[in-house]
Amino acid sequence: MRKLLLLALAAVALTASAQPPSSLKDAYKDLFMMGVAVNQRNITDSAQSALVVREFSSMTAENDMKPASVHPRPDTWTWERADRIADFCRHHGIKLRGHTLMWHNQMCDWMFYDADHRFVSKDTLFQRMRQHIHTVVNRYKDIVYCWDVFNECIADGPRRLDADGHDQPLRESKFYQICHSDEFIRKAFEYAREADPDALLFYNDYNECDPVKCDRICTMIRSMKADGVPIDGIGMQGHYNIYGPSEADIENAVSRYADIVDHIHMTELDIRVNREMGGQLQHSDNAGATLTDTLLRRQQAQYAAVFRVMRRHADKVDCVTFWNLSDRDSWLGPDNYPLLFDRNYQPKPVYHTVRDFE
């Protein structure tokens, strides 16, 4: 409510001065933080780092804090790249989202196996997870304000009914193959809370507006919270396209998540100009495609819709993070044109759609 009042006052002030806000973070400062996922080049190149500092109030390491990046072998920790990002945040007063403590991808694969390359027991896996989580969380406790504790545990696709007629919602990851239940997710949250009682702890996933997946996420988080698992928030990745999800589907998903948790982050927003979506690259990076006026207008409409929903839920939404700084950096390839800055780091028309909202 207070945020909405501030927004109304800001709108009056804007009309009076007729000055557009000078940056994304400025435009949204009374609503939520604006974040960006960065690679090493973004924080070392002077023009790119100046852009990050000017526009964003929160940062995420695109790859450099993931398990495989910092802990490639049981006794080897490789902190240099993650430390550089943490130091950048400390130096510039930017908040750091921790991404990600656990994931089936870019994971420390050694954690799953014994010396004979057989799966370890559940207890050994939990002990290795705990050591990893405690070490990483403790190292960045002063600067990381929230962690994606577990990423992408829920399966995509239609319901898969077991013999009792219950949907089996979990991805068949190595975690699942060792544990045969959702216990590994619960444990990860417990370990993260032990390590830092103050950090906000998130479950993060993509295709989170798909009604079946949204159901699965809600059922899982609700049951875990009822059992006392320390989950503070839900991360909606937001790897969308210009055709979907619809504003109604996004609205529905945010409303449902807002019934369960007090903190919602959009963690990985980008909007590609073909029909693919989600957290995995599918068939194309759209190479060679040009951004026609029609595509551009659709993309502006989709970005406008996403931010309308986020603003409506500003009481629960704390942060919206773009997945990469510019089209040049995008994991989708530059010809998907998914971001607000072009491959020369110049603002695109869609930047103004997002920044200069009414």
Residues that bind ligand G3I (CB under 6 A): 62-63, 105-106, 151, 206, 237, 268, 279-280, 331
- Residue 299 is classified by DSSP as H
| E strand map for the chain | 33-38, 58-61, 95-98, 102-103, 144-151, 200-205, 233-236, 239-241, 263-272, 317-322
| Smallest distance, ligand G3I to C-beta of residue 135, A | 20
| Distance, CA of 254 to CA of 182 (rounded, Å) | 23
| E strand map for 175-332 | 200-205, 233-236, 239-241, 263-272, 317-322
**Residue 315 exposed, middle or buried by CB count within 10 Å (0-12, 13-18, 19+):** middle
Check if the beta carbon of residue 237 is closer than 8 Å to that of residue 209: no
| Smallest distance, ligand G3I to C-beta of residue 330, A | 8
| Nearest CB to ligand G3I, comparing residues 37 and 305 | 37
| Nearest CB to ligand G3I, comparing residues 21 and 333 | 333
Let me know if 276 is a catalytic residue: no
| Nearest CB to ligand G3I, comparing residues 106 and 168 | 106
| Nearest CB to ligand G3I, comparing residues 27 and 37 | 37
Lookup result for tokens 């029909």: 275
| Smallest distance, ligand G3I to C-beta of residue 66, A | 7
Let me know if 152 is a catalytic residue: yes
The active-site residue out of 55, 152, 190, 208 is 152
The active-site residue out of 55, 62, 190, 268 is 268
| Smallest distance, ligand G3I to C-beta of residue 96, A | 15
| Smallest distance, ligand G3I to C-beta of residue 246, A | 22
Q: Determine how many CB atoms are found less than 10 A away from the CB of residue 217.
A: 24
- The partner residues of 36 in beta bridges, in order of sequence, read 59, 322
Lookup result for tokens 């320390």: 230
> Which has the closest alpha carbon to 242: 190, 298, 296?
298
| Nearest CB to ligand G3I, comparing residues 106 and 255 | 106
Q: Which residues are catalytic?
A: 152, 268
